[in-house]
Structure formats: C-alpha cells, structure tokens
Amino acid sequence: MGDLGSVVSCPVRGTGGDARYPGNWGGEFVRRVLGYFEPASVMDVMAGSGTTGDVCSQLGIRCDCYDLRPDAPQGRGGWDVLSDEPERGAQMVLCHLPYADMYVYSEIWGGKRDPRDLSAMRDWPRFLDQCGKAMARMLQWVDIGGYVGVLMGSIRRRGILYDMALDVPRPGPVTHRLVKVQHNERSRGRAYSGKFIAIEHEDFLVFRRDAPYVFAGCVPKRTEWDVRRSPRTTWRGAVYAALVALGGEATMAALYAEIEQFAIAQRPENAHWRAKVRQTLQLGADFEAVERGRWRLRGDKTAA
C-alpha cells in the first residue's frame, strides 16, 4: 500500500475526467486513494465526467461506472443509485456525493430537475436521509472485507454551516476519515461583507464491510434543546437566558416570574430557588445591579 495521511492536498488536479465538470474530484486524489487501498476492482456510482474510470484505466484496475445522467460521458447512464442495481460487485465502491443543491446536476445536463437527483433536494434532512440510504446500498455492493469511500462536503446557508460528514446517517463503521484540501474553490475569490471563513476542505469517509448481514452504523438525531425544560440547565444559564428574554434588564419580580418556568426551579431540592437567583446575580460577573431590585446584563453581554 502507498502512504496516505489524514490530510490530503492535491494542488495539481491530475489527469482523468473533465476539469470543467462542476464539482468533480481530481484524478490525483483518486489515484492516491486507490494507491493506498489497492483494490482489484472498483465501482463509481456517481461517475460524473469519468475521473475514476480514467484513473482506473491508467492503473490497470477493473472499473464499472454508473451515473444518473442519461448520456453519461463514461459507463452506464440513466442509472439511479437509490433504485437500480449494478451488474456486479467490487472490492471498493467510490462516490462523490452532491453538496445538496450547490449544483443541481440534472438541470446542468438535462435542462430540468430530475426527481431522482439528490442534488435537486433543497430540504437538508431529506437530502441527508436519501444520502444515507444511498450509502447503505453501496455497502451491500462491496465485497466482504472491501471498502466504500464517499467524498462529502459542507455548505453554508444564512450563517449556518451544514456539514454532511457530521449529519449524514452512516451505514457502517468508519475506518478512515480523510480531509481533502480544496483548491480553486468558488468562495476563495469572492468578496463578502463582514467576517467570513471560507470552506476549504471536504471529507472522505471510508467504510469497511466486515459481515454479510449486520452493519454497525450510526444515525445522527437532530433535536431542539430548550434550557427551560432541561435538567442540564445551570443557574447561570437560567438567569442569563431570562435576562436576555426580558430585554437585558429586569426587576427581580420579573426575573422571578420568568425563571419560575424553568425546570431547574421546579426540582424538590430547589425549594429556595429565589435565593439562588439572587446569589447568582450577586456572584456572577455577567450581571450588574441598576438599582435596588433591578438587574441587567453587563454591556459586553447584550450584543446578539
């Protein structure tokens, strides 16, 4: 096996595929991955412009390419990873997932959205669910002892980072996680107002199939956490949240009324919770008295 670090940087794209194809991965990255895992056979289920097939051809590795695009540049086109079956299995299955609707591929090559196109799904939870199902199918197509390698990334919407590697359902144990450095990404050359951290990497997760039936996967669960009902709420957290909710400044009477709703104030051991509120205000550097019976957040704590 060749050497491969957890951070992979390929400033030179390498040969294979079409560099003009949106969102494609470079031949040099594929070459390094295959050089490490040394599979005798490969399958690419979202082959795009054919980078994987070209690299495998150069390395003398058998490769089957599939893509949803009807006139796929390489391999079998009109093939849906969520409903179709490959002709045969492989020792390694590769896939470069779309990053939600950053590029809607069916619009690029077909002129209109294909309902089977994962990149046409703007709803993030549904997109992740479908990606998880796709990867579960890939793991069934790889030979026992073989690997599934999936490249995935992140997108930012309205200041929130949506990270596929953290959120996507994982069908089996992750044996490797590589950080692939992006070069010439679109955000690097743009001008943004305010502070902005450009996304300059992608994640390559590798799963191994160890058994015929049972896959030890992980399904992340999204939930909302309300500090008013959580047993993990601290007194500082309760007082701070209450003052923010009241506009940053409030009388003790208003604070008591607000904090009484918190689960932390309803525990049997907190029968004297009003005294605990006063103690928290007096000892906390985040709070300051305005006058007797009235408190506010310190100036540096009021900004949103």
Q: Is residue 203 included in any domain, yes or no? A: yes
Last residue of a domain, one of 208, 227, 262: 208
**Same domain, residue pair 281 and 197:** no
Q: For position 255, which CATH number holds?
A: 1.10.10.10
Answer whether 168's CB lies under 8 Å from 204's CB. no
**Same domain, residue pair 148 and 54:** yes
**Same domain, residue pair 132 and 279:** no
Q: Is residue 219 included in any domain, yes or no? A: no
**Same domain, residue pair 202 and 243:** no
How many domains does the chain divide into?
Answer: 2
**Same domain, residue pair 241 and 282:** yes
**Same domain, residue pair 141 and 270:** no
**Same domain, residue pair 198 and 241:** no
Torsion of CA 95, 100, 103, 109, to 10 degrees: 60
Predicted pLDDT at 73? 93
Q: Is residue 2 included in any domain, yes or no? A: no
Rounded Cα gap, residues 47 and 135, in angstroms: 15
**Same domain, residue pair 69 and 202:** yes
Q: For position 61, which CATH number holds?
A: 3.40.50.150
Q: Is residue 195 included in any domain, yes or no? A: yes
**Same domain, residue pair 244 and 130:** no
Q: Is residue 67 included in any domain, yes or no? A: yes
Q: Which run of H or of E encompasses 1?
A: none
pLDDT in tens, the chain (304 residues): 667 899 999 999 999 999 888 878 899 999 999 999 999 999 999 999 999 999 999 999 999 999 999 999 999 999 999 999 999 999 999 999 998 888 999 999 999 999 999 999 989 999 999 999 999 999 999 999 999 999 999 988 888 899 999 999 999 889 999 999 998 765 555 655 677 788 899 999 999 999 999 888 898 888 888 888 888 889 999 999 999 999 999 999 999 999 987 766 666 667 788 999 999 999 999 999 999 999 999 986 654 4
Rounded Cα gap, residues 261 and 248, in angstroms: 18
* Residues facing residue 151 across a β-bridge: 96, 204
Rounded Cα gap, residues 47 and 289, in angstroms: 64
- Domain of residue 108: give its range: 7-208
Rounded Cα gap, residues 64 and 142, in angstroms: 12
**Same domain, residue pair 59 and 115:** yes
3-state secondary structure of 158: coil
**Same domain, residue pair 51 and 190:** yes
Burial of 228-251, coded b for 16+ CB within 10 Å and e otherwise, reads: beeeebebeebbbbbbeebeeebe
Predicted model pTM: 0.84
Predicted pLDDT at 304? 47
Predicted pLDDT at 226? 86
Predicted pLDDT at 3? 76
**Same domain, residue pair 191 and 50:** yes
Q: Is residue 214 included in any domain, yes or no? A: no
Q: Is residue 218 included in any domain, yes or no? A: no
Q: Is residue 228 included in any domain, yes or no? A: no
